[in-house]
Amino acid sequence: MPSVFSVLASSMTVATLASAHNFRRSEPQMPAQPASAAYNSNFCWGLYPVGGPCPIKNGTFDQYIDHSNPSLGTFKQRYWVNDEHYAGPGAPIILHGPNESAADRGIWYSTNMTADGYLAQEVKGAAIVIEHRYYGDSSPYNNLNSETLQYLTLDQSLRDLVNFAKNVKLHFAKDNGTHPDNAPWVYSGGSYPGALATWLQKLYPGTFWAYHATSAVVQPIAEYWQYYTPIEAAMPKNCSTDFKAAMRLLETKLKNAPNDKAKNDIKAKFGLAGLEDDDFGWAVIDGLQKWQGHAFTNTYATTPLYQMCDYMEGVPNNNAAGGPVPGEEGVGACKALKGLATWLKKVQMPGSCKNQYWSDPNSIACWDLHNTSSPLFTDRTPRNKWNTQWQWFSCNEPFQQWQASAPGVDTGLIPSFLTMKDLRDQCDRFFPDVNGKTFGLKNGRTTEDIVKLTGGWDYINTTRLVYVNGEYDPWIQETVSSPRRPGGPLQSTPEVPVYVVPKAAHCPDMVMANIWANEANTEIFHKVFKTLTTWIGEFYTEKGIAQPGSS
């Protein structure tokens, strides 16, 4: 069968790292498949030649709703297997960690367009994509509320993976040849699934043989204003200087507005009339938030952050007019704020809600998180477009990771009218008590409880786990490469390899197109690949058996 690469150019566009949602706060997510194959029964559509055989098969696994109480029953957890290059019983199994979204658009992670599928191809193994509990069609309940979401926890999610690896019956498996005792299972994930790699290693060791963790957010930070520090580093100096000045000017204008009408008139200049201050604040910094999805395959002109900067500096549309570009000093607060307002009103806001519940391209209803009658609040199905499930994780576990202002210590990029309290208050609006059940934050649970359980930055005694992070990733402050980590960023050793891709954003080594697009990223990928294949080989050496397909 032809390699995926041979049909890539004609069948689909190169993936970007932009997240597939329009949420009003960034969550750690991996890139999704860009083709319109979502929910299509032909899992190979856009990935393999039309009319040819499809090596991707789907299945469901009977997963416990509550691993501590099996009597509660099971739900069907979806997975997809690509055995195109599988050499037979005992060959490696590469499990792509479950992302916090429906997995329909993640099926392509089983192909050689991604690092996981590429690894499976080269070691003659099979690649599996599994759907996270409570997402897509893998939910025990169809109405998600404070009562039914009680089993969406970090611990249950980790135990899902262990149970799946030990007990799944794959369609091609023979003689128990895919059991972790007989074949090396490699867990690979980026972002939250990357953190699952580390947490699996610490809390449930022994099932997976090796781990690949990219942008692994192992140290959740409740008040995560540090999210914007790498973004500032990625911004042109004139833009970051002007953005800070513009935010101070905007704060002053709103503070001095004599009444609500005057305040709303200010917001109208940004195309955001009618929003509460905190929702307005999220919209104003949307250009910063979009940086998370930046890839080496993006051009300057297709990067929202740089588009925003051009408008602020008076050289819009990639300086189509050919005017002089301001120096590092910028253009000053007044001109910059006017340019930001123009960009938001004319470029960024139009159509921003269209892919959600609203057909009107001029609607800004998806930015309103105070209207609890909005479908953002009322759609409680597993395929809701807000990602109520991740909101639950933020409020219940609680990961929190609120990306708001912290005056006196933050970057200065965030307007002071977007506060940590504003974001915490969303928990009460999204999750009112149901039959006495509520969320963890309300019950006194803290983010520090997660760190104590998992070890956070300090858990470094890992076995066969490799880390990759991006220098300009907004989430790097929660990874082992964080400059805020006590003792500094974790240094790479043969036992615990750690790589940082220069100038990369989130999950830089998950998609092959992004890997090949940057020399440093390519070099690091080759090192990671060599490490993983060496570790896989050690499984067979330790067992005293030959690696299938190695001859």
* H or E, element range at 213: strand 210-214
- Rounded Cα distance, 532 and 321, in Å: 50
Does 373 qualify as catalytic in the annotation?
A: no
Tokens of 431: 């999750």
Question: For residue 6, which of 161, 147, 95, 111 has the smallest C-alpha distance?
Answer: 111
Q: Is 123 exposed, middle or buried (0-12, 13-18, 19+ CB in 10 A)?
A: buried
Tokens of 20: 């597939």
The DSSP secondary-structure symbol of 114 reads B
Q: Catalytic residue among 191, 240, 394, 405, which?
A: 191
Q: What's the residue count for the chain?
A: 551
Provide DSSP, 282-342: HHHTHHHHGGGG--TT--GGG-HHHHHHHHHTT-HHHHTT-PPPP-TT-S-HHHHHHHHHH
Cα dihedral angle (106, 112, 115, 116), rounded to 10 degrees?
A: 60
Q: Catalytic residue among 116, 286, 473, 509, which?
A: 473
CA 182 to the chain's CA centroid: 32
Beta strands in 83-139 (DSSP E): 93-96, 126-130
Does 191 qualify as catalytic in the annotation?
A: yes
Beta strands in 51-143 (DSSP E): 56-64, 74-82, 93-96, 126-130
Q: Are 290 and 275 in contact (CB under 8 A)?
A: no
- Rounded Cα distance, 510 and 113, in Å: 9
Q: Are 183 and 89 in contact (CB under 8 A)?
A: yes
Question: For residue 91, which of 434, 458, 546 has the smallest C-alpha distance?
Answer: 546
- Rounded Cα distance, 162 and 488, in Å: 32
- Rounded Cα distance, 551 and 548, in Å: 8
| Full strand arrangement of the beta sheet holding 465-470 | 56-64, 74-82, 126-130, 93-96, 185-190, 210-214, 465-470, 498-501
Q: Which residues contact 216 (CB under 8 A, 6 or more apart)?
A: 189, 190, 191, 194, 195, 197, 198, 467, 469, 479, 480
- Rounded Cα distance, 214 and 212, in Å: 7
Question: For residue 84, which of 103, 112, 59 has the smallest C-alpha distance?
Answer: 112
Residues catalogued as catalytic? 191, 473
